[in-house]
Amino acid sequence: MIARVIVTPKPVVNDPQGLTVKQGLGALGFTEVTDVRVGKYIEVKLEDGSEHEARRRVEEMCRQLLANHVIEDFHFDLEQEHKRR
């Protein structure tokens, strides 16, 4: 199973990297961009087991290490890993 975790700064937290990207996009002519938030994308491979248990464990991982709950929000999706032949 693979957990795909997205961590982003909370809306009330300044995001200087996001501001820099927004300004760069504006300079390149993408004037329709009104805001950019830059975060982290994390993939975690898990041993096979129940989806309920995997969700519980990934939630714990995010709360204890992968995201700083004071300044970041997170969400994740679980997907069965497709074996390559």
The answer to the question of residue 12 being in a domain is yes
CATH number for 51: 3.30.1280.10
Residue spans of the chain under pLDDT 70: 83-85
| Per-residue confidence (pLDDT) for residue 83, from 0 to 100 | 63
Q: Which two tokens stand for residue 38?
A: 């830059």
CB-based burial label for 58 (10 Å; 0-12, 13-18, 19+): buried
| Percent of the chain surpassing pLDDT 70 | 96
Domain count, the chain: 1
pTM metric for this prediction? 0.83
For residue 52, the enclosing domain spans 2-79
In a domain, 48, yes or no: yes
Q: Residue 30's pLDDT is what?
A: 98
The count of other CB atoms within 10 Å of the CB of residue 34 is: 6
